[in-house]
Structure 1
Amino acid sequence: MSYSLRKLGLVRVAVGTPELRVADIDFNLRQIVGLAGQAAERKAQVLLLPELCLTGYSCADLFYQPLLQEKALQALQELARLSAEHSLVLVAGLPLALDGRLFNCAALIASGRVHGLVPKTFLPNTAEFYEQRWFSSARELTSDTFCLDGERIPVGTDLLFAAEGFPACCIGLEVCEDLWAVEPPSGRLAVSGATLLLNPSASPEVLGKRDYRRQLVCSQSARCLAAYAYASAGPGESSTDLVYAGHSLIAENGLQLAETERFSFDSQLACADVDLERLVLERQRNASFADSPATATRRIPFVLKDVRTKIFARPIPPRPFVPEGDRERDVRCEEIFAIQTTGLARRLRHTGSSQVVIGVSGGLDSTLALLVAVRAFDRLGLDRRGIQAITMPGFGTTVRTRGNAEKLADLLGVSLQVIGIDAAVRQHFADIGQDEKNHDITYENSQARERTQILMDVANQLGGLVIGTGDLSELALGWCTYNGDHMSMYAVNVGVPKTLVRYLVDWCAETGFSGEARAVLHDIGATPVSPELLPPDENGEIGQKTEETVGPYELHDFFLYHAVRLHYPPAKILAFAGQAFAGRYESKVILGWLQVFYRRFFSQQFKRSCLPDGPKVGSVVLSPRGDWRMPSDAAVSLWLTEIEALG
């Protein structure tokens, strides 16, 4: 299946570093033509080229030569014809003589015309830089247009380029050093509406500058809630005193999407699909952005062709909540654990309690909650025996899960009680006239509520707190019993999605334990997710597997992140999921579980409207006191209608 980038709010941006000869404009133009052809083959819609790429950045006093200036303008007109040939938006750099001054400019070219010229504002003039010798700052402009072949071309730093029929795409330009200034012009342009910021640059390479440049580009994209593309001059520039590496980057809201190879004499190109629709939505929900004063700008319309693609040029991780790489995993897991344990420790200090009660089942969630409680008690210098772990075997409990719960409690040195619930639940069935052979929702929820009652009452006996074990994914799907496992006195896992819970338990096994404790934790991680409310199968194994009923948690966590954190509509979620899970789930399977997700997410909001306290961990949280406010009786029909149309 192919997708329209425009309908999904995406633009494919390319950053290019062409092979270059200083002052050889014909050669440089030929290299740009070849690079533009490559960009068109990769279905790029916008191609950003380096600063002064038509002449070379390091021309020095040759910039004063009228022949060089005139030839650069002729090459600019050739680029205009090239833009029409490839239906490509080009941004290129050249020197521009205007009103007796020379300016270092970026030109935006589309549909066979030069739409505007943006001069550089901040001219570096220290260390290796001497730009003020040749160029004037944009502040010295005395005209706001330039005549090129009989046409008046807008000139200035107040230009915004707006794509016709695509409101999310608005381009702002700044040049090289402008980004390194205390207050880059891109900030003002972003507040005024620019979602795609383009910077033609010539940044010489010195030790350590690559990492700083990455940080600068990514940070500015995050600060501006924008996509930021940066194209830098390559090794073809003069090596008299400096070396240029051609380090070009594309970032979106703090995340690097693509970069070119450095130190290559051949032309380099990198592409990425930037999500401008997402950035618009981020700005709508960001009060600081909304409060920032906009400035007067001139909006110049241009035509941006739409393209269709089967594969998106951007990373789409199938597990957006889970860190990639061992190093990142260790850092992220330690941070999550610190947030969870600090939240619980603060609550214990406030209540003056040295007792907590946790229902342990031998499953992932209760194991993580128990590990958090142990770390919190250790931080506060409290005796671990004050952690009362209670395992409550019922109709669905297996030998494997009960054994793991009991072993882990013993190995961690916490107190353990075994309280069977069969008799109490059967008495309750007799009281309400429930047939034990009828394995309906009453059969299941009665067990969950009996367990919660035990936990609450034991907590009262001890003067302690009941620690909730339910995770973020269960809350999103409503996969919890109202006033059963849904309720606690402090819920440490409410900000942790299921895919991350498993990751955290495995991480704890590897970094904090050895021997039998590690083996038990790994076995818990390998146990199928189940509430164990229905009887085991004939082999005594878990008969009720959650993911067979509600769907794979890796899919639901993907849906949750994109629907709640990024506010994507179903069509966009399906398109991205198709790439993220290619070869693992067919499109119709993903679509089916997506429908389940939306039905459950809307119908189960009433459970999230009365959640107990618990710490926010990541960028998605469903607490009614935090990031997510939703009426419990909101209609889901709008989203289901779109899903049905996708089928």
Structure 2
Amino acid sequence: MNGFHRLAAAVPVLRVGDPEYNVERMLELYARACDEGAAIVVFPELAVTGYSCGDMFEQQALLDAADGALARFISATAGRRTIAIAGAPLRVGSRLFNAAAVFGGGRLLGLPLKEFLPNYREFYEKRQFRSVREFTGRTAVLAGQEAPAGAGLVFDCEGGPRFGVEICEDLWAVVPPSSQLAIGGAQVVFNLTAGNELVAKADFRRDLVVNQSARLSGAYVLAGAGVHESTADVVFSGHAMIAFNGRLVAENARFDRQSSIVFADVKPAWTDSLRAYWTSFNDAASAATVTRVPLPAAPESPDLRHARLAPRPFVPSDAAVRSERCHEIFSIQTAGLAKRIEHTGAKRLVVGVSGGLDSTLALLVCAKTCELLGLPPPFICAVTMPGFGTSRRTRGNAAKLAAKLGAELRTIPIGPAVLRHFKDIGHDPARHDVVYENAQARERTQILMNLANAEGGLLVGTGDLSEIALGWSTFNGDHMSMYNVNGSVPKTLIRYLVEYHASVSEPDLAAVLRDVARTPVSPELLPGAQHTESLIGRYELHDFFLYYFMKFGETPEDLALLAEQAFGDEARPEEIRDALAIFLRRFIGQQFKRNAAPDGPKVGTLALSPRGDWRCPSDLSPAVWCR
């Protein structure tokens, strides 16, 4: 069991006013959805008849034809587990409603009705249809079957997903019905739409879908009427898309003249995880009035090829978006540091620079902050402290960076002081153990702290979110500072931040920054090459685990499954499981360091500040996660 369900949005070829033909085309797409293992497939608004029938909706012949064609469609789902949602007209007494027929397994399961009927400019739905507000019953009959009907229907598949339906204009309303459906428990909302196409309207529609999925912390699936609707006055494009929690995960090509279908694998349990800690959502939950419609279990995704799991979830894949995010992160970091300088009256910024990624980013933030506050570059005191494992490459890059940024550079070798300390505590320098490594880290922090005091300055921390999660730092060593600008920036993103700064810097500085970005991650505490990722596993894996562990509360088993799907051939299953074991053991066991973390700005949705996002006992048993 993987907990994912495959959702589909289908746009069929149709003939306006020909239900038999339309259902034939829909059955073809339904069969494809079944073959692909979809749990639910949604078709456009009034897809059985075509949306653009106009006053012909008042003709009983069309309604009867639609009823018969839909009955055949419903019968064809017998023995199938995939649920279908198709738009059709529903007459109840003298009133005609714009309905979404929900059916599967040969049965009509429910009839959500449209609430908001557009009646402006090119739309005149109130000419033919009535709002669900005029529906007074609890059930209705369509295609020869009776089923729950009206507003506020939440379909509850055994074991998930729970879903609701709204129709076209409902999404565009000030308070969309989908908001109430979500408050009532729906994890997924399907929208059958027939919005015509205008210049830039697709962008607006996409934004609505994506933003509503974020507002609901769930999935939103939209299927739009296609190009074969009437083009007498308007054109339809067949826009279909699927969004989850503010991210577009699937979208078709508009104006396709063939039938089309898009899929996405979604894990409904993630919605419950997100809503569990979102107190504002839960505060509104009592306001919803919904009717639960129990359904049999929906099929799980046969695989996760439509899950679109990003191996680097903290890093936007689109280059333009990535650059924009990098600029924003720099702005947040500099704003935080600027406020701290103003509040403390600091006379200098002191930062230890090693020539590695983290200290490079911290130095860049210091330089940007000085620029923001109109302070001269020498306001920054950059300190390089070569030790027993310092390489010529990193030391050289540290010096070049300080020079290019105009900071004062001080070089204070730590070797003599550490050797004296070893002598004082009776430690053999030939023993390259934890004492050997931690003594160097603490000596560096002591130098920086005392130097900051001597200068009336502020010691800027460099440790990143990934290191904080793993506890990959020395307690009361590099773990400590007076203000840590990198504390909520993951390692995988820092590399891109440095590369981004290189892209907007003059050539000489850019060359140094790019060399830093290419340098293997290392604490440089032992003589010779010491690569962190060879000891604890790749940071790409750790950041992946961190994201899904914190955001969705995933189990160890599912973390491994997700990583195998996301990384594919980039990581062997045994490498993933070894890294996961290290991540879980260290994440739980190193909480004591996080409980004493310095202040620093939050830049993303995930952070580990003990005063904000993550509060956990430092003596928690790891048994549940590390069996």
Q: Post-superposition shift, 1:149?
A: 7.0
| Match for residue 552 of structure 2 among 566, 570, 573 | 566
Judged with a 3 Å threshold, the aligned counterparts in structure 2 of structure 1 residues 339 and 149 are, in CA distance, closer, same or farther, namely closer
- The separation in 1 between residues aligned to 2:100 and 2:190, in whole angstroms, is 9
Alignment correspondent of 1:12: 6
Q: Post-superposition shift, 1:147?
A: 3.5
Q: Does 1:244 align with 2:230?
A: no
Alignment correspondent of 1:369: 362
Q: Does 1:577 align with 2:559?
A: no
C-alpha contact (below 8 Å) 1:89/1:304 kept by paired residues:
no
Q: Does 1:586 align with 2:579?
A: no
1:580-637 CA deviation, whole Å, 9 max, x = no partner? Answer: 2111211111011101100000000000011000010111100001111111111111
Alignment correspondent of 2:345: 352
C-alpha contact (below 8 Å) 2:10/2:262 kept by paired residues:
yes
Alignment correspondent of 1:134: 128
Unaligned runs of 5+ in 1: 537-542, 642-647
| Match for residue 618 of structure 1 among 589, 604, 611 | 604
C-alpha contact (below 8 Å) 2:152/2:177 kept by paired residues:
no
Alignment correspondent of 1:540: none
Q: What is the percentage of aligned positions where both structures have the same residue?
A: 49
Unaligned runs of 5+ in 2: none
| Match for residue 150 of structure 2 among 142, 153, 156 | 156
1:401-440 CA deviation, whole Å, 9 max, x = no partner? Answer: 1111112212211111111111111111011110000000
C-alpha contact (below 8 Å) 2:12/2:26 kept by paired residues:
yes
C-alpha contact (below 8 Å) 1:366/1:469 kept by paired residues:
yes
Alignment correspondent of 1:417: 410
Q: Post-superposition shift, 1:308?
A: 4.8
- The separation in 1 between residues aligned to 2:300 and 2:319, in whole angstroms, is 37
- The separation in 1 between residues aligned to 2:301 and 2:191, in whole angstroms, is 26
- The separation in 2 between residues aligned to 1:12 and 1:151, in whole angstroms, is 27
- The separation in 1 between residues aligned to 2:451 and 2:187, in whole angstroms, is 56
Q: Post-superposition shift, 1:295?
A: 2.6
Alignment of 1:135-284 (within 5 A): 135-148=129-142, 151-164=145-158, 166=159, 168-284=160-276
CA RMSD of superposed structures (Å):
1.3
- The separation in 1 between residues aligned to 2:360 and 2:83, in whole angstroms, is 54
Which residue identity is paired with 1:529?
V
Secondary structure of the corresponding residue to residue 38 of structure 2: coil
Q: Does 1:91 align with 2:85?
A: yes
Alignment correspondent of 1:73: 67
Secondary structure of the corresponding residue to residue 549 of structure 1: helix
Alignment correspondent of 1:491: 484
Deviation larger for 572-581 or 97-106? 572-581
Q: TM-score, normalised by structure 1?
A: 0.95
- The separation in 1 between residues aligned to 2:524 and 2:4, in whole angstroms, is 44
- The separation in 1 between residues aligned to 2:613 and 2:88, in whole angstroms, is 47
Alignment of 1:469-480 (within 5 A): 469-480=462-473
Secondary structure of the corresponding residue to residue 515 of structure 2: helix
C-alpha contact (below 8 Å) 2:265/2:301 kept by paired residues:
no
- The separation in 2 between residues aligned to 1:71 and 1:354, in whole angstroms, is 82
Alignment correspondent of 2:526: 534
Q: Post-superposition shift, 1:82?
A: 2.2
Q: Post-superposition shift, 1:85?
A: 4.1
- The separation in 1 between residues aligned to 2:207 and 2:453, in whole angstroms, is 52
1:156-183 CA deviation, whole Å, 9 max, x = no partner? Answer: 102111102x1x4111111111111111
- The separation in 2 between residues aligned to 1:158 and 1:358, in whole angstroms, is 58
Q: How many residues are treated as equivalent by the alignment?
A: 626
C-alpha contact (below 8 Å) 2:265/2:304 kept by paired residues:
no
Alignment of 1:106-125 (within 5 A): 106-125=100-119
C-alpha contact (below 8 Å) 1:110/1:302 kept by paired residues:
no
Alignment correspondent of 2:538: 552
Q: Post-superposition shift, 1:93?
A: 0.9
- The separation in 1 between residues aligned to 2:319 and 2:149, in whole angstroms, is 50
Which residue identity is paired with 1:633?
D
Alignment of 1:404-483 (within 5 A): 404-483=397-476
Secondary structure of the corresponding residue to residue 235 of structure 1: coil
- The separation in 2 between residues aligned to 1:132 and 1:486, in whole angstroms, is 65
1:338-396 CA deviation, whole Å, 9 max, x = no partner? Answer: 01111111100111223011111111111111111011011111121121111111111
1:479-528 CA deviation, whole Å, 9 max, x = no partner? Answer: 1000000000010110111111111111111212312x222211111111
Q: Post-superposition shift, 1:83?
A: 2.1
Q: Does 1:296 align with 2:289?
A: yes
Q: Does 1:64 align with 2:54?
A: no
- The separation in 1 between residues aligned to 2:124 and 2:541, in whole angstroms, is 55
Which residue identity is paired with 1:319?
R
- The separation in 2 between residues aligned to 1:408 and 1:447, in whole angstroms, is 23
- The separation in 2 between residues aligned to 1:454 and 1:159, in whole angstroms, is 65
Which residue identity is paired with 2:535?
T
Q: Post-superposition shift, 1:578?
A: 0.8
